[in-house]
Amino acid sequence: MGQSIHILHLEDDPLDAELVQIKLEEAGLVCQITCLQNREEYIAALQQGGYDIILADFRLPAYDGMSALHLAQEICPEIPFIFVSGTMGEEAVIEGLTEGATDYVLKQRLSRIAPAVRRALHEAENWQARQQAEEELRKLSRAVEQSANTIIITNTQGYIEYANPRFAETSGYSLSEVLEQHTRILKSGLMPPDVYQQLWATINAGKEWRGEFQNRRKNGELYWESASISPIKNTDGVITHFLAVKEDITARKQAEEVRARLEEQLRQSQKMESIGRLASGVAHDFNNLLTVILGYSDLLQIKMGSKHPWIDDLEQIRQAGERAATLTRQLLAFGRQQALTPVVLDLNNLVGNLQKMLGRLIGEDITLTTNLQPVLWSITADPGQIEQVIMNLVVNARDAMPTGGKITIETDNIYLDDSYAQTRIEAPTGPCVMLAVTDTGYGMDSTTQARIFEPFFTTKEQGKGTGLGLSTVYGIIKQSGGDITVYSEPGQGTTFKIYLPATENSVTSAADLQTQITYQYSTGTILLAEDDDLLRNLVRQTLQAEGYTVLEAPSGEGALCLLAEFEGELNLLLTDVVMPVMNGRELAGQVNALYPQAKVLFMSGHTNDTVMQHGLLTSEIEFLSKPFMPIDLIAKVRALLGK
């Protein structure tokens, strides 16, 4: 011990005190001794501190050794205490050691003082080391017990020997339930076997393994954990246990699944949007051609009469044109590009009006039932399009039950919160009306469900369907501001659920839905602007046959040139919406400046979005959607000029 030892010596005899110091120094101990005689000085010294050891006589004139021991135990219990006395009997020695004294030395045998001091100081160092180690263990124990992570210790076979409280919170098992149980008690049965094989190979090789598990709680609920599993080795390097530190990552996994679903929905939405744009791109020219085909077929049938030998051939042409027009409408509906006429609807009334016709559609071997919310909120939608949605879903359900079954149509009031919208792209929130169509058919697997809304995708035999029914439904619902979901399992039937935003507006009456032409007006001058030559010729012939004077031009500029030379009264501008250089909206603005009283009728084979971009869908704008029949054109012109 090279450092100086600070000794507090409680002794009333100076000679004895000096003798103790001599014996310690003879033994090679460097000492700084503070010698005291009474209680007051002793207490002050203890409180001041800084001493390595206390030596005390058992009996003093003004104090006693046992009291000194008790004070030392109270104020500084970590400092060794040795009795140095010449009058200490055996019973007193036993009592002193029992009360906490480190040792005793008789003054008659002071040769023991140096070894006793050395031993006491060594034991004090060991005691302090133990105290420090125990404190570290207590800290570690508290950290393990209060850890936010699950901590498990197993033997080398995987049987649990320790688990912290977080384990019970996460798994639902108490420590008593899992002690000596194998960790496989947590297995979900959903992880690939090679995950566990790799785990055991890694930790038995003395390395750390990191990975993720999908485990099962005591109540059967699945959860995800991120785990770090390491071997515990003894001083010889032999693996004796394994330590697993695990974090519950269920919330993160669920968020990742939601994000993946949303990304897939976004990709699907973008794919459908691209197809919709493609449909929009061809719709204008396609609808122009269909208008010409249908129009001339109609005109020729009228001219030839019902007895003409070619009348049946013309009817086949007309029917083919109508089927093509239906195909175009379906494509535009899928691409959310239909020109809709929304009104305030009671969905229950619409379902009720369709019920008889739906019964004829599905046949006698299928039962159709309804479960309608008695006090249903109103929605704003195009009634014809919603009818098409219901019929398509019912027909689809019928085809899924070739040997019969049951179809149920339900309506209900639903409030969709933000959590629903977080898992569904473009989904509405707030008060909504739900329409559900459920069948007891053969159902669908997840792969089929992922594609059912794609155009031309069908599981039916060739020639049994176009694959546009559900894609049409999808487009109509999305364009109406709603959302559609499908729930199905093979052999368990299918449920389609549609959510449409509710409205507080009053339901539109049946009388308001009917358009009545009350005026017949077949005279006047019409300025026709249409860049498609075939369609322009058809429209001109149709209008002239009704007695109208027609000024025709292939462009907006050409129409203005005609007006520059025209001196009469202009009653109507009939113009295509999309034309090169000058569009229909721009032409209408200049014509109205010259002829403020002239009516304007826009026509277009383009989609709803294109029309909206030109600012045409307002209550003051008259619009005729291509393809149209000559009778539709005449009816629209008569009604407009008759106002």
Q: Annotate 217-270 with DSSP letters as a single string.
A: -TTS-EEEEEEEEEEEE-TTS-EEEEEEEEEE-HHHHHHHHHHHHHHHHHHHHH
The CATH class, in words, for 343-512 is alpha beta
Q: What is the pLDDT of residues 519-560, one digit of tens each?
A: 344 578 999 999 888 888 888 988 988 889 999 999 999 999
Determine the pLDDT at residue 617. Answer: 43
Q: What is the pLDDT of residues 615-625, one digit of tens each?
A: 444 435 677 87
Q: How far apart are CA 550 and CA 526, in angstroms?
A: 5
- Long-range own/partner contacts, residues 393-397 (CB < 8 A, 24 or more apart): 393/437, 393/473, 393/496, 394/358, 394/361, 394/362, 394/368, 394/437, 395/361, 395/362, 395/469, 396/469, 396/470, 397/362, 397/437, 397/438, 397/439, 397/441, 397/494
Determine the pLDDT at residue 426. Answer: 74
What dotted CATH number matches 515-641? 3.40.50.2300
Q: How far apart are CA 84 and CA 81, in angstroms?
A: 10
Q: How far apart are CA 597 and CA 141, in angstroms?
A: 92
Determine the pLDDT at residue 467. Answer: 57
Residues 6+ apart with CB under 8 A from 630: 295, 298, 299, 538, 542
Residue type, 88: M
For tokens 């002193």, what's the residue? 96
For tokens 């046959």, what's the residue? 545
573 is written with which tokens? 């501008």
Determine the pLDDT at residue 587. Answer: 92
Residues 6+ apart with CB under 8 A from 142: none
For 597-612, give the DSSP string: T-EEEEEESS-HHHHH
Domain ranges of the chain: 5-142, 147-248, 343-512, 515-641
5-142 and 515-641 share one fold = yes
Domain 147-248 has CATH 3.90.960.10: no
Determine the pLDDT at residue 326. Answer: 67
DSSP 8-class letter at 307 = T
Start-to-end CA span in the chain (Å): 120
Q: Which residues of the chain have pLDDT under 70?
A: 1-2, 141, 143-144, 268-269, 271-273, 275-285, 326-341, 455-468, 508-522, 605-621, 643
Q: How far apart are CA 319 and CA 296, in angstroms?
A: 13
What are residue 542's phi and psi, to 5 degrees? -60, -45
Q: What is the pTM of this model?
A: 0.47
Q: Could you give the count of Cα atoms lying within 13 Å of 467 in the half-sphere of its Cβ? A: 13
Strands 483-488 and 525-529: unpaired
Determine the pLDDT at residue 374. Answer: 92
Q: How far apart are CA 79 and CA 54, in angstroms?
A: 7
Which of 95, 92, 85 lies closest to 116, judged by CA? 85
State which CATH number among 2.30.40.10, 3.40.50.2300, 3.40.50.970, 3.20.20.70 fits the domain covering 5-142.
3.40.50.2300
Contact 208, 194 (CB under 8 A): no
Contact 573, 567 (CB under 8 A): no
For 475-527, give the DSSP string: HHHHHTT-EEEEEE-TTS-EEEEEEEEEE-SPPPPHHHH----------SEEE
What are residue 614's phi and psi, to 5 degrees? -95, 5
CA distance readout (Å), 212 to 183, 247, 343: 15, 9, 53
Residue 334 exposed, middle or buried by CB count within 10 Å (0-12, 13-18, 19+) = buried
Determine the pLDDT at residue 182. Answer: 92
Residue type, 40: E
Q: What is the dihedral of CA 577, 581, 587, 593, to 10 degrees?
A: 160
Determine the pLDDT at residue 517. Answer: 37
Determine the pLDDT at residue 434. Answer: 93
Q: How far apart are CA 438 and CA 367, in angstroms?
A: 12
Strands 378-381 and 494-503: antiparallel
